[in-house]
Amino acid sequence: MADAGGPVVVVVVTVSTSADGDDAHPAAITASTRLVAIGPRRTPPVFHTSHDASLVVIYGRGMGGTIADDEDPMIELTDAQRQRYDTDGYLLLESFVDASWLERLDAAMTELIEASRTAAFDDHRFDREPDHRPDAPRLRRINSPVDLHPVFEEFILDGPATDLAVELLGPDVRFHHSKLNIKWSGGGEEVKWHQDIQFWPHTDFSPLTIGVYLADVDDEMGPMGVVPGSHRGELFDLTTSDGRWTGSIRDDAIERAGVDGAEFLRGPAGSVTVHNCCAVHGAAPNQSPRMRPLLLQTYSRADSYPLLGVGTNGKSGRLAHRVVRGHAPRRLEIDGRRMPAAPDWFRGDYTSIFEHQQRGD
């Protein structure tokens, strides 16, 4: 049975064989490789060799599961879906996440909600509504769930959400942050109209956010609404007229933002929303008797860098900013000029210019 936990990289390797025609062995493969597709994860790695051993297809990344003939199909968007994302700045993929993943994600969320009952008032993991009580929790958000539970870490850093990000961003993908917006039943708070990029500016506008509805979402629950095409329009001021940050578009700019034309993204549990960082979006209060949990994770191209010293980029969590697919670029472009880039030493390994220059001799 397939492991529901994530992808496999399928690589075609061209090799040469010995004169006696022995099959190529993985340890002897040194020739160039070619990425073919991203599909379900298999373990252990499997090697298929053609009759003349000139081609070896390798499956596997080694994280659980067994091989079966009924593996789930690869995550692959259609041309029409890609075009819609490019044109409208968002997608809705109904029932994208399967029941096995939903069960695991829901159980992880329940664990964290239970933890919020006894957590200290200043516990940074939880954003509570004003009437939250230990005997009747009401959470607005669980902050950075990727740092709080291994199920969220697997799903976000090496699971279906990551695979979908690759489909839209290309082979090299950087993770930025995650959050779980609960929107509690019976009046869970609204999210006013806004754009994301002003909160965490990057060096380009490739960042996108992938949301997963962990429950069925209808109109009564306050589904997310997105203004089609707004990702190519104005970048709005999210402050008051006197410069106070509110994180929402001003009332006098709402008409200009086109929110009357917003499309509201409802769907069954497991449905996925994708929106570009510049898309105008928001959500009404949850007036239903059911929670509306939406798991959100943001990715960018690997050559898109979060700007420190502005917005929330310095508060993105322990696992933030890492490349989760492909490779980090060795060069970057600033103000139209390309230059080689130093390695990422954010998590250590750097001592001083003296140490590195001497070690490089």
DSSP letter string, 269-291:
TT-EEEEETT--EEE--B-SSS-
Q: Which helix (H) or strand (E) holds 194?
A: strand 191-194
Q: Is residue 45 part of a domain?
A: yes
Q: For residue 19, name the pLDDT band (cuts at 50, 70, 90).
A: very low
Confidence check: pLDDT of 25 > 60: no
Q: Is residue 355 part of a domain?
A: no
Looking at 62-71, 102-111, 320-329, which range is the least confident one? 62-71
Give the range of the structural domain holding residue 279, as residue numbers without chain letter. Answer: 79-333
Q: Is residue 140 part of a domain?
A: yes
- Examine the domain organization and report whether 188 and 313 are in the same domain: yes
Stated pTM of the model = 0.78
Q: Is residue 240 part of a domain?
A: yes
81-127 confidence digits (pLDDT tens)? 999 999 999 999 999 999 999 999 999 999 999 999 988 888 889 88
- Examine the domain organization and report whether 88 and 138 are in the same domain: yes
195-228 confidence digits (pLDDT tens)? 999 999 999 999 999 999 999 999 999 999 999 9
3-state secondary structure of 254: helix
- Examine the domain organization and report whether 55 and 83 are in the same domain: no
- Examine the domain organization and report whether 303 and 249 are in the same domain: yes
Instruction: Please give the tally of structural domains in the chain.
Output: 2
d(CA 214, CA 63): 24
Supply 85's token pair.
């994302």
Can you give the CATH number for the domain in which 188 is found? 2.60.120.620
- Examine the domain organization and report whether 27 and 129 are in the same domain: no
pLDDT at 12: 42
- Which residue in this structure is represented by tokens 């959100």? 296
Residues paired with 9 in a beta bridge: 38
Compute CA distances 139 → 96, 122, 192, 224, whole Å: 26, 14, 17, 18
Describe the chain by its helix, strand, coil percentages, rounded to 5: 20, 25, 50
pLDDT at 8: 44
- Which residue in this structure is represented by tokens 């029409």? 80
Cα–Cα–Cα angle for 340, 306, 158, rounded to 5 degrees: 95
- Examine the domain organization and report whether 199 and 277 are in the same domain: yes
pLDDT at 341: 80
